[in-house]
Amino acid sequence: MIEAEIDIEIRERRAQRVGFVETFHRYRKSLLEQFQIVRRAMTHPYVPWYAKLVAGFSVCYVLSPIQLLPNFIPVVGQLDDVLVVILGLKLLKRWVLPDVFAECCPENVSRGTTRDYL
């Protein structure tokens, strides 16, 4: 009886590991899709100039060697980069029309329903 319980526990642990890997790949795919949507939105003519400016500044801040909190500080250095990117994306989603984001989705691009500027 004890051997059967151990076998069940081992199977459950393996299932949990597979779930973590699948979850990681799903989040990675989602992140790449969101990056493509934002990249396509930056070339869209209906995106306001100030939204493009905020997105550009947030990318430049992350890539810049001059920062408010240096990256060599273990947690806080990376945390400010993440906060700047999140704030930039939130402002971008607030200022850009939902129709523009829908037009920039990978499904519309693969079907050919986007316009020539993408």
Average pLDDT, the chain: 75
Angle 31-35-38 from CA coordinates, rounded to 5°: 140
pLDDT digits (tens, 9 = 90+) for 18-59: 577 777 777 778 777 777 878 888 888 889 999 999 888 888
- Would the pTM count as exceeding 0.85? no
